[in-house]
Chain A
Amino acid sequence: GDSVTQMEGPVTLSEEAFLTINCTYTATGYPSLFWYVQYPGEGLQLLLKATKADDKGSNKGFEATYRKETTSFHLEKGSVQVSDSAVYFCALKAAGNKLTFGGGTRVLVKP
């Protein structure tokens, strides 16, 4: 079945540091890939998505590139802020209705 694996946290960074969160997947078929973010006390918000190989999703300074050859969709941001502290979820959608999520990575950015 479909699965998503992402690096375990927590990831602790200083402000303006570079952030990478690794995400790899296995899927039957050709999935779309998503990153969702959950800020403290809030629900899941779509951060970005990519629907085909070599597509780059981007939003709020975050980027992720759909790499079919390595089945990966790593999330990056060049200079994090304290407000980026959150839990980040990688997810895929292949056939059918459901999203399949990774375990989430907690990121803590310190001033």
Chain B
Amino acid sequence: DQQVKQNSPSLSVQEGRISILNCDYTNSMFDYFLWYKKYPAEGPTFLISISSIKDKNEDGRFTVFLNKSAKHLSLHIVPSQPGDSAVYFCAASVWEGGSEKLVFGKGTKLTVNP
């Protein structure tokens, strides 16, 4: 049972345009959401997060939007740069089984073309 879903395995955009990465979740107990970026041969790097009590969080070129009623969040990158090309993972924080953990989606590979 995939509790965090990233339905687009890949996305290609032109440099300077907006990249929109989407994520859906099923567990209403999730109360904190994170985006990680991963380059080949490296571990995931924390990018931006949002609490379930907010609907938007912005950090420079990166903005995360949360729609709790739709159980949907999205990451906007404006403007996109070639260095943003990576795999982006959506993750949700949950207290489960006596401990807190992150549940990850399968990732979306973003390619930004010069």
The answer to whether A and B assemble together is no
Interface residues of B (CB under 8 A from A): none
Interface residues of A (CB under 8 A from B): none
